Amino acid sequence: MAQSREGFWVPRVDAAACVGCGLCVRLCPTRSPIPPETLHKRVLRGDAAWLKDADSLRASSSGGAVGAIVAALAGEGYGFCGVRYVPERQRAEHFLAETPEAFVPARGSKYIQSLTVPAFRYILAGDGKWLVVGTPCQIAAFRRLIQTRGVEERFVLVDFVCHGVPSQKLWAAFLRRAAKGRDPRRVEASWRGKTRGWQDAYELTLSEDRQTFYRGYASGNEPFLRHFLRCTAQNLTCYACPFVGTHSGADIRVRDFWGERYQANDTGVSRVEALTARGLEVWTKAAAHCVTEPLTPAENAEVEAKTPKAEPPAWGRATFIRLLDWPAGFTLAHGWSLIGCAWARLCRIVRR
């Protein structure tokens, strides 16, 4: 895998070594038709859930449902594969842990694309049992791969509802500006804190040696979160993501439970959907670590009706990403987007 010109992880083929089997294309969920096993699934059990342990709940992005699944599998010989942020390389990576304590860096959202290859290669080469957590496209591809190798029984797969991944160039340019002369390789990042409560949890925090030097909120128009939430520089495949509703390759899907039902909850609520018999078995055990409330038929129907995202911004996503390479690139690109949004708004007014 290598960074593309737009700043996304893409496969790079060694033509001299390729035997033309086509397996890479068949496994890729964006290059070939979605197989029946990842199409619309019936939710076998759906719950609103949040951890009973207050400290773990506070450290989680929403209700901590993945932490409950980890706790349930810890005594059954499973290892854990999830995502952490690595300051030294200024990127997110899948990593491996043998205990729940070692898996703590996987807590919280990482609003950048993760590199999967080293961790996935290791767990596929061995014979252990693993919980694997990732975005819907990562998990769908991994499902296809373990089916091809006949090793599905060794894995429990969990995906989470994803807003898409922005270009790594956006993160790098933002970090250069926000770090203000600090070494970015020493900067820790958190994208979803609860300093002002879960309802205002789109909080970006940067720290060095455990000292916070930057904190911003989407509600206050924090610029990185603004571009993430507005899908300014997402991967092109994200704008027409096929993994919506209950289209999933996972055993269990988790997501935030926003909306009227829990609008007064400020500690965090997860929405958990068991999508396979294996997922139902695991979540039934994991639910013991949570307070749970079942989804209503109307809430299940709402999930099933979700549709893919809109098209890329009409004012020039490619130009935005190119500007990020310039000196003061984040400032230039941010200014370009403001002009583009104003122009698009003016055009809509004129058309009316």
pLDDT at 340: 86
Q: Are residues 155 and 246 in the same domain?
A: yes
Mean pLDDT value across residues 309-314: 71
pLDDT at 321: 96
Q: Are residues 119 and 140 in the same domain?
A: yes
Model pLDDT for residues 91-121, shown as the tens digit of each residue: 999 999 999 999 999 999 999 999 999 999 9
Q: How far apart are CA 153 and CA 238, in angstroms?
A: 29
245, pLDDT greater than 80: no
Q: Are residues 90 and 127 in the same domain?
A: yes
Q: What is the mean pLDDT of the chain?
A: 92
Domain span at residue 344 reads 168-231+313-351
Q: Given pLDDT bands bounded at 50, 70 and 90, which one contains residue 345?
A: confident
Q: Given pLDDT bands bounded at 50, 70 and 90, which one contains residue 244?
A: confident
336, pLDDT greater than 80: yes
In the chain, how many domains are there?
2
Q: Are residues 190 and 47 in the same domain?
A: no
- Residue 179 CB partners (closer than 8 Å, separation 6+): 187, 206
Q: Are residues 112 and 204 in the same domain?
A: no
Mean pLDDT value across residues 182-208: 95
Q: Are residues 136 and 30 in the same domain?
A: yes
**Sign of the Cα pseudo-torsion (23, 29, 30, 32, in order):** positive
Say what the pTM is: 0.93
Q: Are residues 56 and 135 in the same domain?
A: yes
Q: Are residues 220 and 251 in the same domain?
A: no
Mean pLDDT value across residues 253-268: 93
Model pLDDT for residues 31-76, shown as the tens digit of each residue: 776 665 556 578 899 999 999 999 999 999 999 999 999 999 999 9
In the chain, % of residues over pLDDT 90: 75
Q: Are residues 197 and 337 in the same domain?
A: yes
Q: How far apart are CA 3 and CA 332, in angstroms?
A: 22
Q: Are residues 143 and 75 in the same domain?
A: yes
- 287 within 8 A of 49, measured Cβ to Cβ: yes
Q: Are residues 128 and 89 in the same domain?
A: yes
Q: Are residues 227 and 240 in the same domain?
A: no
